[in-house]
């Protein structure tokens, strides 16, 4: 006769083996679960960034003096702007509507004369603001170019020696401003939420849908065994995804791993447990795969993407959403991952995140299990 | 015995549409996710997505403690990009604040700042910036540089004016069209429309068909004299209508909550929506022909949705992508629908400005639907 814990372990591993068999028998799920992270990482690492250069610029130079040409040259020389068209001031708006230019530099007659007199000379920049993010970057760039041109003119006129105030910016953690370094922690969180919540929700809801859940209840396997057996394979899958994303990020994109890997996995485990619990809860409530998908997307994927600080700083959100973000586990995991990978933070800085993740995991698993027990009693 | 005569195409089609509508309407939860979920997403996105960086939490280390340093610091922190969250007493302490995440930027004004300034030497200021988020770091760095450059310019001009000379200065005065206050929501929300339509239609179609396949109901319908493409057309129709209804709903939310203007002709947007829905429904159908379970359908549809969203210009500008990736975006229906939505709503573009995008969507819609129908037929035939 085996001891109780031994029997418990056998039952759970039987359930887990059944689930692993489900996954392995049709490897398409597995392939998708692993191809997706790598694909997303490659896209973000190689392509998707917020950094703009070669912005299409239209120029309307009505002044036609050496000074005005120098200003146009200052705009296009550095590669930030590409001269796309020379137009009359009235044509600029038409170009915007057709999406042919982002900005138009308009130099009125008299620009060169004003400069030669040693005064302030003004040029106008029309900006297509429909893409607000690009427009504000463009404004920053135009501003810097105008400042540099101003300084050059002043220096040429023999006006300025050393500047009176000088500021030295020192950017830490990601000095080159690479999007991949910023995105990898956020993506990891998103992918793990996707895998853990949705795959669990779908597999459990699938058992209800097909009626095989009743068969499981008729077997000597207990409810807790069913839950643990269902969740364990996906816990493993999630950890492998975490490892994969961090490894690809570190090798292909030089994302640093400054903190301890053990800590990384500890926090990852706490996050995964919560996400699996959420998936279980959704499936118990919906019992339908299609509905479970949407519920999972709305309750976990969307908040992980929008409210976790993965893409958009939390401080910028309205207070209601800031408050809401406090109950989103992804927020704590994103913060912890960035800390461990980029800043080399240790337990001293990260224990609040860990505690928050743990509290969420325990609470949601308890609620889901209770609900699961009641459904069938 | 001769087979039963095939019913007229239109009768068969109407019958399938009626059946699908009943089936969809009966399940309240599916109706909820088809109609309420997109609305919730629009609202959430509109409020959460904000690329304007402001309120960057900033630590200040004023080690000079003079009237001049206090004045400069006050004016720097008053411009809105930076938000003063704590005072620290040394550069090392500022460093720690960054490490712990209590501040994302720190400005250190070293001792001797006002003395240097008064003596006509270059007074130096140091800024520490958390580069984790490149967009935020760039905005903070730019705000700090811009402020001190302007302050420096003022001081320089005062000095020259004292000598009776005026230096030349170049000023570029920007005027922003279409979205003068540069609100992100106005730009992002029309793009979100493209995103949630693809999520709703592609995933629901793919999973719905896989479900029928799992349950074997697809085979039952196929033994009836209804032709496969009539069956598919009937199955798609309710989703086109629901998707169209979502567009109207989202438009109402956009104009009401986020002040998105409606500048162009709505028929252009309506035509764009229908053509776009053909592509996304086609993708769902295509994915379902490659999947045997709903789980796979979901993952497969997601595998399309994620790159499609990333490469659409909705979240990040296409202009910022390398050339080869920009070429890939030409194959993405989302990109063209986002361009149509933004063009019509924000820039007042009409058929004349957008015919290329509309033609491309028509092409993709027929290609994808054609391919998917062909695969569907061979699989079942």
Q: What is the pLDDT of residues A310-368, one digit of tens each?
A: 777 777 778 888 888 888 899 999 989 888 888 888 888 888 999 999 999 999 999 98
Q: Check: CB of residue B320 under 8 Å from CB of residue A80.
A: no
Q: In chain A, what percentage of residues exceed pLDDT 90?
A: 10
Q: Check: CB of residue A248 under 8 Å from CB of residue A41.
A: yes
Mean pLDDT on B312-337: 84
Please name the residues between 54 and 93 in chain B that touch chain A, using a CB distance below 8 Å. Answer: 54-57, 72, 83
Q: Mean pLDDT, chain B, as a whole number?
A: 82
Give the mutation candidate from A27, A130, A209, A353 for the B interface (greatest B CB count, under 10 A). Answer: A130
Mean pLDDT on A12-39: 78
Query: Is B177 close to A50, i.e. CB distance below 8 A?
Result: no
Q: Check: CB of residue A184 under 8 Å from CB of residue A254.
A: no
pLDDT above 70: residue A161: no
Q: Copy the structure tokens of residue B229.
A: 């493409």
pLDDT above 70: residue A375: no
Query: Is A157 close to B144, i.e. CB distance below 8 A?
Result: no
Q: Copy the structure tokens of residue B151.
A: 């302050």
B130: helix, strand or coil? strand
Please name the residues between 171 and 210 in chain A that touch chain B, using a CB distance below 8 Å. Answer: 171-179, 181-182, 194, 198-199, 202-203, 206, 209-210
Q: What ipTM did this prediction achieve? A: 0.72
The size of the A-B interface in CB pairs under 8 A is 376
B92: helix, strand or coil? helix
Give the mutation candidate from B299, B342, B351 for the A interface (greatest A CB count, under 10 A). Answer: B299
Give the mutation candidate from A255, A294, A321 for the B interface (greatest B CB count, under 10 A). Answer: A294
Query: Is A157 close to B141, i.e. CB distance below 8 A?
Result: no
The larger pLDDT score, comparing residue A275 to residue B150, is at: A275
Residues contacting residue A265 through CB under 8 Å, at least 6 positions apart: A239, A242
Q: Give residue A296's pLDDT.
A: 84
Among A1-15, A25-39, A352-366, B56-70, the range of highest mean pLDDT? A352-366
Split at pLDDT 50, 70, 90, the class of A1 is low
The larger pLDDT score, comparing residue A281 to residue A376, is at: A281
Mean pLDDT on B7-15: 81
Q: Give residue A163's pLDDT.
A: 65
> Which residues on neighbouring strands pair with residue B61, listed in sequence order?
B108
**Closest to B294 (Cα-Cα) out of A204, A15, A217:** A204
Query: Is B311 close to A47, i.e. CB distance below 8 A?
Result: yes
């Amino acid at each position: 006769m085996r001891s109780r814990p031994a029997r418990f372990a056998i039952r759970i591993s039987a359930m887990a083996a059944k689930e692993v068999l489900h996954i392995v028998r049709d490897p398409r799920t597995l392939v998708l679960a692993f191809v997706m992270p790598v694909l997303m990482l490659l896209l973000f690492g190689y392509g998707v960034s917020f950094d703009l250069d070669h912005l299409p610029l239209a120029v309307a130079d009505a002044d036609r003096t050496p000074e005005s040409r120098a200003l146009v040259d200052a705009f296009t020389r550095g590669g930030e702007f590409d001269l796309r068209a020379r137009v009359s001031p009235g044509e600029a708006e038409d170009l915007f509507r057709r999406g042919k230019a982002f900005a138009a530099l308009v130099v009125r007659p008299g620009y060169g004369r004003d400069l030669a007199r040693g005064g302030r000379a003004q040029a106008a920049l029309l900006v297509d603001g429909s893409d607000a993010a690009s427009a504000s970057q463009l404004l920053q760039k135009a501003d810097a170019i105008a400042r540099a041109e101003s300084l050059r003119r002043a220096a040429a006129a023999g006006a300025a020696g050393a500047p009176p105030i000088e500021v030295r910016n020192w950017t830490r953690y990601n000095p080159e401003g690479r999007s991949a370094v910023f995105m990898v922690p956020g993506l990891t969180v998103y992918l793990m939420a996707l895998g853990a919540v949705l795959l669990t929700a779908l597999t459990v809801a699938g058992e209800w849908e097909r009626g095989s859940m009743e068969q499981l209840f008729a077997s000597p396997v207990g409810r807790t065994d069913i839950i643990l057996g269902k969740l364990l394979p996906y816990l493993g899958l999630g950890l492998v995804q975490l490892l994969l994303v961090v490894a690809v990020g570190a090798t292909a994109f030089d994302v640093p791993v400054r903190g301890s890997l053990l800590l990384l996995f500890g926090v990852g485990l706490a996050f995964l447990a919560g996400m699996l619990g959420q998936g279980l809860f959704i499936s118990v409530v919906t019992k339908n795969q299609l509905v479970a998908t949407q519920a999972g997307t709305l309750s976990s994927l969307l908040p992980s993407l929008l409210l976790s600080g993965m893409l958009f700083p939390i401080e910028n959100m309205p207070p209601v959403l800031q408050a809401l973000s406090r109950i989103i586990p992804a927020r704590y995991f994103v913060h912890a991952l960035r800390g461990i990978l980029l800043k080399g933070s240790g337990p001293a800085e990260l224990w609040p995140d860990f505690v928050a993740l743990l509290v969420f995991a325990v609470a949601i698993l308890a609620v889901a299990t209770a609900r699961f027990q009641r459904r069938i009693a | 015995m001769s087979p039963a005569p095939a019913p007229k195409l239109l009768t068969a089609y109407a019958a399938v549409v009626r059946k699908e509508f009943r089936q969809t309407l009966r399940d309240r939860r599916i109706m909820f996710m088809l109609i309420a979920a997109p609305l919730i997403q629009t609202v959430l996105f509109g409020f959460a997505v904000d690329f304007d960086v402001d309120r960057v939490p900033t630590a200040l280390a004023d080690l000079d403690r003079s009237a001049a340093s206090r004045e400069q610091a006050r004016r720097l922190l008053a411009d809105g990009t930076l938000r003063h969250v704590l005072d620290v007493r040394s550069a090392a302490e500022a460093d720690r604040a960054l490490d712990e995440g209590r501040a994302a930027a720190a400005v250190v004004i070293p001792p001797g700042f006002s003395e240097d300034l008064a003596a006509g030497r270059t007074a130096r200021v140091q800024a520490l910036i958390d580069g984790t988020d490149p967009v935020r770091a760039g905005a903070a760095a730019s705000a700090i540089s811009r402020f001190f450059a302007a302050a420096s310019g003022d001081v320089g001009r005062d000095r020259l004016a004292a000598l009776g000379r005026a230096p030349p200065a170049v000023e570029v005065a920007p005027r922003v069209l279409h979205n003068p206050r540069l609100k992100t929501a106005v730009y992002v929300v029309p793009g979100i429309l493209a995103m949630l339509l693809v999520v709703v239609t592609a995933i629901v179609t793919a999973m719905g068909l896989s479900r029928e396949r799992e349950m074997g109901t697809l085979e039952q319908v196929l033994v009836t004299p209804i032709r496969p493409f009539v069956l598919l057309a009937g199955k798609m129709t309710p989703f086109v209508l629901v998707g169209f209804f979502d567009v109207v709903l989202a438009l109402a939310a956009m104009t009401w909550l986020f002040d998105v203007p409606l500048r162009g002709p709505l028929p252009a947007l309506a035509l764009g929506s229908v053509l776009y829905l053909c592509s996304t429904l086609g993708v769902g159908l295509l994915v379902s022909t490659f999947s045997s379970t709903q789980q796979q359908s979901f993952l497969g549809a997601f595998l399309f949705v994620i790159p499609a969203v990333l490469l659409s210009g909705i979240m990040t500008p296409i202009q910022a992508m390398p050339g080869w990736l920009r070429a890939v975006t030409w194959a993405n229906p989302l990109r063209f629908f986002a361009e149509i939505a933004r063009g019509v709503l924000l820039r007042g573009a009409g058929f004349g400005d957008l015919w290329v995008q509309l033609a491309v969507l028509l092409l993709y819609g027929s290609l994808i639907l054609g391919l998917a129908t062909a695969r569907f037929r061979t699989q079942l035939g």
